[in-house]
Structure 1
């Protein structure tokens, strides 16, 4: 369990890096949805190679015949989460892109545990869990306090006044996307148990997401909403690595969820996400918007972590 927890923290730290990488790729390709497709496609190929090398025994027939339809939706949740994160990264910065979905993940995990959704064991709503949720909300507000966009080291330019007016809507969408991330973790964990392989569940999740993005990009292309290849700029070499990072993140989550449970898996992953998000934000690494680390923002991150621990204690 200790090794699983350490892997979860490391996987969580990959998520802000993946978002920054994919955001740079979307700027080069001039399409968020096309960048999502490239990322999912690369991740799918990588996971397929791993499955071919490891050759795990997959109970695919029994899963298709006897498991509910929702066990396959993890990839769709991942598509929404990944794509929205790229939009948020350009407009809000790395740490905010982490913290707002964190709120959604905590609320989503709380709702899943209380209702017993997706086949998980039902858990009682305790005072500790309510306190933890409140701390996460307050921490998220502090991290977003007095947003001041800084200079960029690369990527897309800062948004104008029209885009700024859409920020509250984006913030709400970020929380909802975080809830979908909690659903993805739970569903992929159940799929891994059904198939008898966490890596097989990760491949299935990425394959579903890739197919959905192929259809979406085909529709956009038919309507003339995608730019031609001649308008693309060449991304840096690391701009193609988002799919590998995402595949690793999903695989570790699918492995950890049955071992640690949904709540603890979400908690250790969020720890890695918050720390890495603040580092990327402060340094402006990988073309992210640079936002220096201030005392209120650091205090907000600490409150988010305290809220996560309180939710876990109220388990």
Structure 2
């Protein structure tokens, strides 16, 4: 595992939390964008395309190479190039879960999957990730993280989002729950794979670009098969809508880039948990202040307590 000065490490961890906050803003943006394009899949595709072109522009401006040596393709495992696909499958699955599980479980189940898979990847060194033994402090920290997430997320969702009537039979609910956990696991796998790709390419930026290109292509194929055409994108450009609705992909690109940078340093589990800390913090800020026109919902003390417990869990996992 790479070692850095404490000041640099703390800065990178803070940037990962901030990038996680950015994902909460991206959710608001994509929700508004969906109202213009009429489909969550179109909104996701637009977001991925914007992120891809943004990374291409940054790659050009910074002088990083666009092309990858053929020998790297031939001498690396196939899963190294699947990060974008993992992300798209996880995203699409989450969209499908809501009618069957409701708001709370649609959030909680993938989070559990992310944390579980992140710890497993660290403990067994899957995907050639840095091997981090599962010590007592990581176990206690993990319990605190899960407690904090439940307090912060459950209170936020159950107060303001009525649960839809499930479309599933009672004996099918657990199948959807397992699917939600699996979607979260794919998210953690994406973090591990992208981090390993960045290490091999010696360029986190290039690895993030590869991931976004893969995700954009997967969504283009999916939307093309499902919708048969892409007219909604062109119709959207003719509508008078806020300029910031095009910026969701930028926030997503920043998040993926920070994951690529941090994963080889602190491991997949810690990277995932730091990102979740940022996402939940950002969600509470969105609720409290109605950022970008989101409905304002007061944040309660128990949610703040959950955030504090989550932070303590992160500190116990990483710093002790």
Match in the other structure for 1:300: 306
Rounded Cα–Cα distance in structure 2 between residues aligned with 1:18 and 1:86: 15
Change (3 A) 1:273 1:228: closer
Q: How far does residue 208 in structure 1 lie from its aligned partner after superposition? A: 0.4
Q: How does 1:9-48 map to 2 (within 5 A)?
A: 9-48=17-56
Cα-Cα RMSD = 3.5
Listed as ranges, the gaps of 5+ residues in structure 2 are 1-8
**Matches of 2:97 and 2:286, distance apart in 1:** 14
Q: Provide the secondary structure at the position in 2 that maps to 1:8.
A: helix
Q: What is the 5 A alignment of 1:19-168?
A: 19-57=27-65, 59-83=68-92, 92=103, 101-142=110-151, 143-145=153-155, 147-149=158-160, 160-162=164-166
Match of 1:197 in 2: 203
| Residue 237 of structure 1: aligned partner | 243
Number of equivalent positions? 304
| 1:68 positional shift | 0.4
Aligned equivalent of 2:223: 217
Match of residue 267 from structure 2: 261
Moved more, 75-84 or 163-172: 163-172
Structure 1 residue runs of 5 or longer lacking an equivalent are 151-157
Query: Shift of the alpha carbon at 1:191?
Result: 0.5
Contact residue 103 and residue 163 of structure 2 kept, 8 A: no
The correspondence for 2:187, drawn from 181, 188, 197, is 181
- Tell whether the 8 Å contact from 2:224 to 2:230 is kept in structure 1 after alignment: no
SS at match of 1:147: helix
Moved more, 283-292 or 170-179: 170-179
TM-score, normalising length: structure 1 = 0.81
Structure 1 stretch displaced more, 101-110 or 171-180: 171-180
Change over 3 Å in CA distance of 1:296–1:88 after alignment to 2: farther
